[in-house]
Structure 1
């Protein structure tokens, strides 16, 4: 949807990197409507990508009944909606992630509480 401003629309952006403790990364779990939208998390750019699954996601999505059933070997990652294969040993920055990037993951065989998404 386009927007037409009636007056000059010139002001400094409030969501620039410098205004947050770390770059914001948006993360969503596809096909799990208990979490209808991605979460925005300030994550250090030098954090290994593998820490997302080991440290970050349990604190965000661990309350979901499917979380304990995730097969981490078949998880599918997406960056800006496109299939993506991150390197878990490399940092977020080295995986090409920056401030306000959006990633999501799909867990084959798990489609919401009692298959509610299917």
Structure 2
């Protein structure tokens, strides 16, 4: 059955969240937003493309930083309102220069930094 991005359930702004996960390690790298065109571009090019809400423009991961995400597989959740992109990540995924955007844990009511920026 062919996949049609129009079958996803987008929010009022026409967006769907996408979780990027390392295809080998399973590490959750980041969460960003896609519209139907970004989903289609990602599938066409194999380069993960998001929709930047702040810039109101497409954002190809790594286009300016060089830290590209190559799509290995795109998965759709059971409600069709969230995506999971299994990726090969080159360099850090986070704009803070960390491997993952999820570098802060809350332990016993305190924030704990789990990783420092990559050199």
Q: Tell whether the structures are fold-level matches, with TM greater than 0.5.
A: no
TM-score (norm 1): 0.34
Q: Greater CA radius of gyration, 1 or 2?
A: 1
Relative contact order (alpha carbons < 8 A, sep ≥ 6): 1 or 2 greater? 1
**If each structure's helix is expressed as a fraction of its own residues, which one has the higher value?**
1
TM-score (norm 2): 0.34
